[in-house]
Copies of this chain bind each other. A is one copy, B any other.
Amino acid sequence: MTLNGNLLIGAQEVGATAGSMKALNPATNLEIEPSFAFGDIAEVDRAARLADDAFDSYNNTSLEVRAALLERIADGLDAITPELAQRASLETGLPVAQLEGEAAKTATQLRQFATVVRQGRFRQATIDPAQPARQPRPRMDHRMQKIALGPIAIFGASNFPISYSVAGGDTASALAAGCPVILKAHNGHPGTSELMGRVIRQAVKDSGLHEGVFSLVRGGGNAIGEALVDHPLIKGVTFTGSEGGGMALFRRAQLRPDPIPVFTEMTSVNPTFVLPAALFARGREIGDGFTERMLVTAGQACLKPAILLAIDGIGYSELKQAMIARVEAMQSRTMLTPGISTAYRKNVDRQLGAGAERIAAGGKPLGPWDGQSFLFEIDGSRMLDEPSLSEEVFGPAALLVRVKDVEQMIAIARQFRGQLSATMQIDRADHALAARLLPVLERRTGRIVINAFAHPQEVSYASIHGGPFPATSDGRFTSVGMSSIERFLRPVCYQGFPDELLPEALKHDNPRGIWRLTDGELSKA
């Protein structure tokens, strides 16, 4: 596929109206061809109007047509995977094999959402039949289904340039819900974004859908993102990235005359709590497993386990030595962008300044944007005094906390802000302690893992990639997994409708045989 750097506004290609950029190869610090167009408010407005025009027809597509769109996108991704992974590797420094895995996962996720669409359960079809003889007054027929929220603006993430980007979970779940999508491409991987954008656009066309179902925009600075969040025809926003960026969008959207839902996935240190019996039995193995996970993709993952808390005792020094050995054996690696590399170095200094002791360092940086791996250690009492030590360091660094006892561990757990995930390493003899820690973690975490680490991310029905603030801006939702579709749906009740005017999911004979709640009972009748 030839890249030309255009914006994709519905079916139309639009060249630069507000400057342009080239991608940077972070491994070589050299620019890559071609130039990529920046758009402006006018392009956002055009994309938003097209999305609004597309809404009624797309929201009312049959489930089959909508599922087929998602499968066409998946097929299109499969067809370009070698080219896509190659380009993404140039733009991000990530290994080609890892990126091929991301592409496969992204295609799988699109097909899973096609299944979710065909099942039709997302409609939450609910029927309270008429009760003409009810006293003191009859009940009319009430039926409810969920419909699409409206056109959605999606901000692509930088760290997983395929699976959390143009064709990632946000786009898949918004399209599954029936929402047209305007994708703001991340400037860290513009070519990768264009490749995926073209696949989606072609799938929209091949499905015979309104061109406004998908647009891809790009801009320098914040103007284009702000224009998206401000646009009156945009009805929801998703974002994955830093707390600063996410909160700027969130607060801006709340200041609109008509505030709209914004789901931002932002920051998490994914703490691991090692309980005494587990530490005694397998301290080395836990330290080894934790550090291996921490270093994956140079620590640039939202689920990176960044803080390990272990109660000092037998097994602690084995755990610590295993962590040190892994970190020291690690070569430095190119980070995703110069900005991320710079921020990483600053945050490492912040940890040192807060009193963390550096107990291991990996190979020295060779390239300009390389990230060196580090392991820090701190006492639990100091951790309680310095909440900044609980903040994220995005990159290949971790903090080992030497905890005095269970009480101190629970006190530290209570101090954590909201997290995407937390892990408990336990043995049978730790169950009573784990049961004490569990409610503390439930209140602060979207996912609790026992005897494993949160990464890699499963994408399925029970997956939750969310959590209380600041892990996300709204802990009631998830950005990964089949229930991520709920972000983009709203309920409508239809009262006293003749069958002819009812939407398909609510018609009397249930033509698609979907699950419905009738008079409080679930059935496919």
Contact = CB atoms under 8 A, between A and B. Distances in A.
Nearest to A129: B462
Given A491-B483, A495-B449, A142 B460 contact: yes
A33 to B, nearest CB: 35
A144 B438 contact: no
Contacts of A487: 476
Nearest to A452: B496
Interface string A459-477: 0111110101110011110
Interface stretch (A62-70, A247-255, A375-383): A247-255
Contacts of A59: 439, 442
A476 B496 contact: no
Contacts of A417: 258
A431 to B, nearest CB: 6
Given A254-B254, A261-B474, A501 B462 contact: no
A126 B461 contact: yes
Interface stretch (A214-222, A310-318, A324-332, A515-523): A515-523
Contacts of A454: 495
Contacts of A515: 522
A250 B124 CA distance: 28
A82 interface: no
A115 B519 CA distance: 12
Contacts of A431: 498, 500-501
A490 B435 CA distance: 20
A57 B448 CA distance: 19
A478 interface: yes
A458 B494 CA distance: 12
A458 B496 contact: no
Contact of A458 (B139, B149, B463): B139
Contacts of A478: 491
Number of copies of this kind of chain in the complex: 2
Contact of A127 (B127, B445, B462): B462
A434 to B, nearest CB: 6
A517 B124 CA distance: 14
Given A119-B520, A431-B500, A464 B493 contact: yes
Interface string A113-131: 0010001010010111000
Nearest to A144: B462
A55 B443 contact: yes
B450 A498 contact: yes
Contact of A473 (B60, B259, B418, B462): B259
Contacts of A452: 140, 495-496
A250 to B, nearest CB: 7
Interface of A: 55-56, 59-60, 115, 119, 121, 124, 126-128, 137, 139-140, 142-144, 147, 149-150, 235, 250-251, 254-255, 258-261, 417-418, 431, 434-435, 438-439, 442-443, 445-452, 454, 456, 458, 460-464, 466, 468-470, 473-476, 478, 482-483, 486-487, 489-498, 500-501, 515, 517, 519-520, 522
The 9 closest A-B pairs by CB, nearest first: A464-B493, A144-B462, A254-B254, A142-B462, A447-B493, A258-B469, A449-B495, A126-B462, A56-B439
18 contacts: A127-B462, A140-B458, A142-B458, A142-B460, A144-B461, A144-B464, A144-B483, A149-B475, A149-B476, A250-B259, A251-B254, A254-B254, A254-B259, A258-B418, A446-B491, A449-B496, A450-B498, A464-B491
